[in-house]
Structure 1
Amino acid sequence: MPQIRSSRGPGSVAAMADDASAFERGPSDPRPEPEWVSAVTPDVDAAMRSEGRSMLRLLHQMRVDLPLAGSVLASTRSIDVRAFEPGADDAAWLSVNNRAFRWHPDQGGWDRARLTARLAEPWVRADGFLVHDGVDGDVDGFCWTREHPAGPAPDGAEDPAMGEIFVIAADPSTAGTGLGRALTVAGLNHLTERGLRVGMLYVEAVNTAALRLYERLGFVVHHSNAAYTPAHRHDGTDGPATNPDPETSS
């Protein structure tokens, strides 16, 4: 199986991992940029390590058939969602996003300028950025979706058209309420209504809470993408960077 080696994340991973170097590198760090490998295999991992590189991050691409199984829909709480309103929802969304992803090297620490820039990207559809309002009327969770046309896969085959859960999070204060699951299902239902028959997302391998949630919804790992750096990290360890406080977010 061919792999893509790049200093940027392959495919959609680049959009989620465009600041990966900030997690391990200081402004004067002389080391080369992390190198992403798409559809990494044990043999490729061994080859990278033989070059003196260690794994910094591991992202799983997970997929699920759409529409979701009836049993999944029946066991998920129903919530109302609406389209994100640029400007009016910015502050509330940033607050939820940055609390939910305070541990994340890429998705945490966003500001209004970064959100505005992302909203201006050509793939963004206004009706695909779903938010949920809490009892106080403020946004307490969101599911941002993205649509991908059919095209070449990392293994050289042809990928079908897919609907991606691009980024999703619930405010940490809602933990245990089932909001994360409900938001995921709402996003996948939206993609189903858009005519997509495959749902997809990327999730950090260390985010075990999110992995368990997605598996319960029927997702399976399709392939994994890994970021490598030189063998010695700042903390002297090897392997993926750890998530100190997993949230139901990806």
Structure 2
Amino acid sequence: MSIPMTRLGNRGESLITPSKGPPTFTHDDNADVEREYDRLRDLARAEANKRNDCFERSRRAYEDGDGARAKALSNEGKAHDAKMREYNRQASEYIFRENNAPGRVEPDSIDLHGQFVEEAERILEQRIRADQARGQTHLHAIVGRGNHSTNHVQKLKPKVEELCRELGLRYSTEENDGRIYINLQGGEPVPPPPSKPPHGGGQHRPPQHRPPQEEYPEEGEEEGLLPLLLRKLEKACCAVM
């Protein structure tokens, strides 16, 4: 079931899916927004650290032959993992609401700043399918230039391009290489003529609300924190119990 853009990220709902060209909006930095976003991501990071510590202690307990303790620590680690994912979900939905509030982006645009790679992929796919169902011809995906990523490497843009290819959609990088034009109905990905920005002019300035990617992995990389050894350990603990 498609969720329209206006409902994406509403409090209490999960995001089940989720730029130079013409300047689309002027974003004024909001310290309160940034603090709340960072607070949620920090809580998620803290839970991830607790999770990893539990799994490491579980591994040691198993090696020492204490299967019951290994199992208990494994379950504790899973609880921290669930909390981490919940805080990340809240952060993703919160920053999506802020960056895509009415007047901040045009109706044919979506701002993915502040999203981990897997979060952005889900949100964008849901939006694409909803727009196609409504007969929309195109979508501008604002992904940023990677200025705040490690080594200034763009992480969202390659994933957006990969998703477009998987969905059989043609796309092109706009004049601002932090923005991608996606043709939703087939044909050449040629952006339409520039339209007047919602605020009467003003250059697009990428929002500063972004994940600290050098300190915390994209959601799609979280599994990398759980080595194969720990998954085997979990199975062994279950057998012991």
Larger strand proportion of the pair: 1
TM-score by length of 1: 0.29
TM-score by length of 2: 0.30
Larger helix proportion of the pair: 2
